[in-house]
Amino acid sequence: MSSEDKQSDSVTPSRRRFVGTVAAGVAASAAAVPVLAQQAGGNQPAAGAAREAAKRYPRPPFPNQDQSWPALASKMTPRPDHGETTYRGSGRLAGRKALITGGDSGIGRAAAIAYAREGADVAIGYLPAEEPDAREVIQLIRDAGRKAVAIPGDIRDEAFCKKLVDTAVRELGGLDILVNNAARQQNNDSILDITSEQFDWTIKTNVYAVFWITKAAIPHMKAGSAIINTASQTAYDPPEKLLDYSGTKAFEVAFTKSLAKQMAAKGIRVNAVAPGPVWTPLQLAGGNSPEGRQKFGEDTPMKRPGQPAELAATFVTLASDESSYTTGHVYGVAGGGGQP
What span, in angstroms and rounded, lies between the C-alpha atoms of 311 and 309?
Answer: 5
Q: Is 267 strand, coil or helix?
A: coil
Residues tagged active-site: 245
DSSP string, 67-130: -PSSP-GGG-SSPP--STTT----STTTT-EEEEETTTSHHHHHHHHHHHHTT-EEEEEE-GGG
Q: Which of 185, 195, 259 is nearest to 227 (CA)?
A: 259
Q: What is the largest CA-CA distance in the chain?
A: 53
DSSP letters spanning 278-332: B-SGGGGTTTS-HHHHHTTTTTSTTSSPBPGGGGHHHHHHHHSGGGTT--S-EEE
Chain-centre distance for alpha carbon 31: 21
Distances from the Cα of 35 to the Cα of 24, 85, 94, 303, angstroms: 19, 13, 11, 33
Enclosing H/E stretch for 24:
helix 13-30
Give which of 303, 298, 300, 329 is closest to 314, Cα–Cα. Answer: 329
| DSSP-derived secondary structure letter, 36 | G
Contact by Cβ (8 Å): 21, 326:
yes
